[in-house]
Structure 1
Amino acid sequence: MGCRPNLIGDPRFPGSRGRQQQEEQWLNPAAFEAGFGSSPGIINAPDPSVFDEWWRFGNMGLRNPAVRAPGYWNLDVSLSKEFHLTESRYFSFRWEIYNALNHQNLGIPNTDWCLPPNPDGSVDLVHQFGCQFGKITNVQTDPRAMQFGLKFYW
């Protein structure tokens, strides 16, 4: 389905939720409906004139300030030491750690608009099997990595 949905509620979930819940559903799917409304008659209508409704854009703008990705933070650490042999000759040792705390930042939620199957298990153009809307399926950061460096200056 390629149309912009109607925003009918707050896309953020109220209160605090666990990490697993956030990954499974970052956006509240109950806050959105199809741009042509939620009438199943439109989806199953045999009248071709009703299909014009399918191409109507919803009221949600392209950049809604309420629809945000999770925050991102990272800590990189570096230590260095110079070992002088003479005034002009010395070794420089570096130890660098990227993502030192090994913190996993969640990726961007999927915004391909669809909804999971209806409570009775039925599917249509809006309610689809395998719907990933609002789910976070990746991470933005790499795991902790270290590198060492040793240079000789002369």
Structure 2
Amino acid sequence: MSLNTFPSGTLKTPYYYQYNLGIEQQIGTRGNLRADFVGTRGLHEPFQVQLNGYQTVCDGCFAPFPYQQPLDQRSGNVNEFRTDANSSYAGLQTVYTQQWGGLTLRGNYTLSHCLDEVSNGGLLAFSTQGLLSPLPGELRRQYANCDYDVRHNVSAFGLYQVPFHSSRAVLRQIFGGWSFSETAFLHSGLPFSVLSQPYIANGNGVFQANGASTVQFNAPAYANRLPGVSVYSKNAVTGVTVAGTKQWLNPNAFVSVVDPATGACTGGDSPVNCQFGDSGRNSVRGPHYTSSDIYITKTFPIREGITFRLDAQMFNAFNHPNFALPSQAEAGVPGGSIPARFGTLQSTISPPTGLLGVGLGGDSSPRMIAFQGRIEF
């Protein structure tokens, strides 16, 4: 029998404190600088925890799970909904605008940090690496970077309207009415976790139900971090970096609690070796994001109040690839068995702007160029 439970039969309503402080200063006659400090504190946020897990590896292994049998042998899966999670966000947001004749510039920079125990409401993973169910009684150990924590975020916009004046109508038609604009985006990478392999030796492991049917490694089974070894490496690693991928994490910086070659704990099964790793939640980051869009516009006056406008639009104008988080984040054992594709970049992500829209999937391609004509009146 599987159960969904609630502590004391009730759930608390999440609530948030929001605060901000801003200052603004005019610079010269056409410049403006604004800075805002923005903060949010979330309390009683929801999450789920699986209470009836147990392990069959050894007495004292994989704490806090009991050995050989679940806490309540009458029940199978016991999933408890709780509202004990917290979150915090603090950000410094700056905006600068400037005009020089026909040139308009606007730049935005945000330095921020988001911390929580379970991201995205605890009910839906933000990414494939998101963890929703902390170990029983160990929620506070998950307090780390939010799944969507972006430490640095830069966006910039520039518009230049080419000034041209002539008494000759032909020259005005050719050289007048031109404008150029560019929008640029740059932000640092998203965090994710490095995990261990699941324990599978001799049919043993960590289970969630009464009966060895479901392996419970959707709990935060982190890998161990090797001190003094660089976390990131762009050099290809034989047997790990396969064709069509790009190495991002250093395979020699992490050790899986479970050896993928044997399915048992690295160094042998014992309470010392068979514990969840220390690398922690969201302790590494993926690659940064860079994209630029360029627009070239020419207007043709037809008669008073009616203009024909022709646009050339270039999305991801410099054809810069932006990679998603590694899909293989389960570590191996340096000097032994390391899974192929561990810590490698295999796919790209969609830009914030595009020609065809997110729903159609056309925005995931590289540079796209479009021409558009319209009559404005």
Tell me if TM exceeds 0.5.
Answer: yes
| Separation in structure 2 between the aligned mates of residue 68 and residue 117 of structure 1, nearest angstrom | 21
Higher relative strand content: 2
Aligned to 1:7: 225
Shift, 1:26, TM fit: 1.1
User: What's the Cα RMSD here?
Assistant: 3.0
Give the secondary structure class of the aligned counterpart of 1:30. Answer: helix
Q: Please, which runs of 5 or more residues in structure 1 have no aligned partner?
A: 43-49, 120-126
Matches within 5 A, 1:43-122: 50=270, 54=274, 56-64=275-283, 67-115=284-332
| Structure 1 residue 34 displacement after superposition | 2.5
Distance 2:335 2:256 in 1: 14
Task: State the distance in 1 between where 2:314 and 2:340 align.
Answer: 38
Matched residue, 2:373: 150
Q: How many residues align?
A: 130
Distance in 2, Cα, partners of 1:116 & 1:105: 29
Other-structure match for 2:22: none
Give the equivalent residue in structure 2 for 1:38. Answer: 266
**In the alignment, is residue 139 of structure 1 matched against residue 348 of structure 2?**
yes
TM-score by length of 1: 0.68
1:88-116 Cα deviation digits (max 9, x unpaired)? 11111111001111122233223531328
- Distance change (3 Å), C-alpha of 1:100 and 1:136: same
After superposition, the Cα gap between the structure-2 partners of 1:31 and 1:17, relative to the gap in structure 1 and judged at 3 Å, is: closer
Secondary structure of 1:96's aligned partner: strand
Q: 1:52 offset after TM fit, Å?
A: 9.9
Output the CA distance in 1 between the equivalents of 2:317 and 2:293. 6
What's the secondary structure of 2:266's corresponding residue? coil
| Letter in structure 1 aligned against 2:266 | S
The CA deviation string for residues 60-114 of structure 1, in whole angstroms up to 9 with x for no partner, is 11021xx221222112100112111111111111110011111222332235313
> For residue 176 of structure 2, what is the aligned residue in structure 1?
none
Give, in whole Å, the separation in 2 of the partners of 1:51 and 1:144: 53
Distance in 2 between residues matched to 1:34 and 1:17, nearest whole Å? 21
Is the 8 Å Cα contact of residues 26 and 136 (structure 1) preserved in structure 2? yes
Q: CA distance change for structure 1 residues 116 and 100 in 2, over 3 Å: closer, same or farther?
A: farther
CA contact (8 A) 2:290 2:322 kept: yes
Corresponding residue to 1:29 among 220, 243, 251: 251
- Alpha-carbon contact 1:76-1:99 (below 8 Å) kept: yes
Higher RCO, 1 or 2 (CA under 8 Å, sep at least 6)? 1
**Contact 1:114/1:131, CA 8 A, preserved across alignment:** no
State the TM-score, normalizing by the size of structure 2.
0.30
Amino acid at match of 1:140: I
Larger Rg: 2
- For structure 2, the 5+ residue unaligned runs are 1-197, 199-216, 259-264, 351-364
Residues 33-76 of structure 1, C-alpha deviations (whole Å, 9 max, x = no match): 1236621x32xxxxxxx58964x321111021xx2212221121
| SS of equivalent residue, structure 2 residue 298 | strand
Structure with more helix by fraction: 1
